[in-house]
Amino acid sequence: MFDRLKGKVAIVTGGNSGIGKAIAADFIAEGAKVVITGRNQEKGRQTALEIAGDILFIQQDVSQEADWQKVISKTIEKFGKFDILVNNAGVGGVGKPLAEMSLSEFNWTQSINLSGNFLGIHFALNKMTEPGSIIDVSSAAGLRGFPGAADYSASKGGTRLLTRAAALEALQMGKKIRVNSIHPGWIDTDIVPKDMREQVIAMTPMHHLGQPKDIAKLATYLASDESEYTTGSELAADGGLMA
């Protein structure tokens, strides 16, 4: 299918690699204009060249309010509007047991994975063209706590409920803006440590890693008018991990 997103403008945070890159590429293929953001300017510009089409890279730290204001302003200046936001940027956490983790380490993960999503939703509810769609990329860890990843689990669990609350608030505001979350399992990206690949494949009922395109297809559905009656929902693509 093509042109499911024709005429739409999307912002995809963390769009310079992995899941975000796959989402941006799928959106472009479906006719959208896309803004991708990320911290690494060189990598972001290269990704935009690789994807090609109506795509723009803007450097952004999602934990910084001023950066969000910049992204929104430049997107509207370039494309006249935005009606899709994908809150995808994130980190895998500090990789320490809870008992050994400092408060500053815990807060660092939240600042990107959770506060970054809050800022995106906040600005989208105020600036997004309607009808619109906000898509928060959470995780299977947002549905079940993972030992050794308390900071990551907390940030993704928080994203899950932030999404639900935002969906209801958008409706209460009279906004035609849908807010949904996607919960990937183990996806073949750099966030999966090489020394853990065999272990996570073994613990996944389908016995293989998911691909970024698996998440991109769900994002395209949620971004399109096909999901016009879907809000506050959680879509899992985890190879049966949460079954």
225 in any annotated domain? yes
Read off the pTM: 0.96
Instruction: Give CA angle at 91 (102, 73), nearest 5°.
Output: 115
The CATH number for 162's domain is: 3.40.50.720
Concerning whether 221 is annotated as a catalytic residue, the answer is no
224 in any annotated domain? yes
How many structural domains are present in the chain?
A: 1
Look-up of token digits 């698996």: 214
Tens digits of per-residue pLDDT, 126-152?
999 999 999 999 999 999 998 999 999
Domain extent at residue 160: 9-236
146 in any annotated domain? yes
2 in any annotated domain? no
Give the three-class secondary structure for 192: coil
243 in any annotated domain? no
The DSSP call for residue 136 is: E
Tens digits of per-residue pLDDT, 152-170?
999 999 999 999 999 999 9
4 in any annotated domain? no
241 in any annotated domain? no
**For 179, phi and psi rounded to 5 degrees?**
-135, 115
166 in any annotated domain? yes
Task: Give the count of beta carbons closer than 10 Å to the beta carbon of residue 52.
Answer: 9
Which of these is catalytic: 86, 152, 157, 218?
152
